[in-house]
Amino acid sequence: MTFTKATEFDATQQEIARLAKVLSHPARVAILQHLAKTQSCISGDIAQELPLSRTTVSQHLQELKAAGLIKGEIDGLTVCYCIDTEQFGKAKALLETFFSGISFACNCDC
């Protein structure tokens, strides 16, 4: 049995780590950038913009959707995706708070 110590960290640290994990793949970053530029998009159109198969793009879309960064609306046989502005705003604020809260006071020569 594997024991994780993730529960030893506070909720904010866990949320930042979860968000960082979702953003850790360049395809997911590219998908978010594309959706931000186009406002909404059909998954097949997204696949045409990336050097990945439709199946792989679909898997990345599901990761982003599970994280709450995007939402998808079924329209017949297609799914139209867009950024979930409320959740994306919360994620942005969380990362901004994290990065602004780190000060650099290194006295080393590295």
Count the domains in the chain: 1
In a domain, 5, yes or no: no
In a domain, 103, yes or no: no
In a domain, 25, yes or no: yes
**In sequence order, which residues have a C-beta less than 8 Å from that of residue 88 and are 6 or more positions away?**
69
Query: Residue 59's domain is classified under what CATH number?
Result: 1.10.10.10
In a domain, 4, yes or no: no
Please give the DSSP secondary-structure letter assigned to residue 104: -
pTM of the shown model: 0.82
Read off the pLDDT of residues 37-73 as tens digits, 9 standing for 90 and up: 987 778 778 888 899 998 999 999 999 999 999 998 8
In a domain, 106, yes or no: no
In a domain, 40, yes or no: yes
Count of beta carbons in the 10 Å neighbourhood of residue 65: 15
Residue range(s) defining the domain that contains residue 44: 10-98
